[in-house]
Structures are given as structure tokens and as C-alpha cells.
């Protein structure tokens, strides 16, 4: 993973365990909620969770052609569309 792409709150995989990033240190140490290495992992040990069609559909998005769309209604309205091009979402 590229440390510039990592944010607090990201969900990552560390040693086959899914966990959340809770702190990023300048020395490359990453604090996560992973039980196996709690609290410190290293950026080189982390893998991103890859978005798949199945994950997006399970999260409530609808497939419209090659896009996935969501509409969340509440106090305000949030709409977004993910466009899938060559197995990447934009």
C-alpha cells in the first residue's frame, strides 16, 4: 500500500485479518484494530480491501449499466455514482 493513500478509518487487511486504521505514524507504523498485531502494524504488512461488484451491492448500491449508484436520504440528500472502467472504480 502507498502510505499517501491511507487514511484513519480505512478498512485494511493485515495477515488475513480485516481491521480499521486508527493512527498513522511518520515512521511507517500504523495502529489498527487487528487483534493479531494490536496495536501496531507496518505499512508494508497491510493490503487494501478491494471493491467488488458483490461488496457494492451488499452495501446497498444499485447497478445501472456499468455504474453503481446510491441514494441516501435523510436530513440532506446524498447521491453518488461509481463508474467501473477496466476493473477499477472511478
| DSSP sequence for 18-39 | EEEEEEE-TTSEEEE--TTTTT
Do 42 and 68 belong to one domain? no
Whether 75 shows a pLDDT value over 70: the answer reads: no
Do 62 and 34 belong to one domain? no
Do 62 and 82 belong to one domain? yes
Whether 80 shows a pLDDT value over 80: the answer reads: no
pLDDT-based confidence at residue 50 (cuts at 50, 70, 90): confident
Do 82 and 64 belong to one domain? yes
**Per residue in 3-15, pLDDT tens?**
778 889 988 888 8
Do 69 and 32 belong to one domain? no
Do 66 and 83 belong to one domain? yes
CA distance 40 to 38: 5
Do 8 and 42 belong to one domain? yes
Q: Find the domain containing 74 and state its range.
A: 53-89
What total number of domains does the chain contain? 2
**The pLDDT of residue 8:** 92
pLDDT-based confidence at residue 35 (cuts at 50, 70, 90): confident
Tracing cell 511507517 back to the chain, one arrives at 28
Amino acid at each position: 500500500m502507498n502510505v499517501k493513500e491511507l487514511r484513519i478509518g480505512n478498512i485494511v487487511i493485515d495477515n488475513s485479518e480485516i481491521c480499521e486504521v486508527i493512527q498513522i505514524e511518520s515512521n511507517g507504523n500504523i495502529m489498527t484494530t487487528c487483534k493479531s498485531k494490536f496495536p501496531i502494524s507496518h505499512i508494508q504488512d497491510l493490503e487494501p480491501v478491494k471493491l467488488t461488484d458483490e461488496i457494492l451491492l451488499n452495501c446497498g448500491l444499485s447497478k445501472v449499466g456499468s455504474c453503481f449508484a446510491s441514494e441516501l436520504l435523510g436530513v440532506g440528500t446524498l447521491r453518488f455514482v461509481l463508474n467501473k472502467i477496466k476493473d477499477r472504480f472511478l
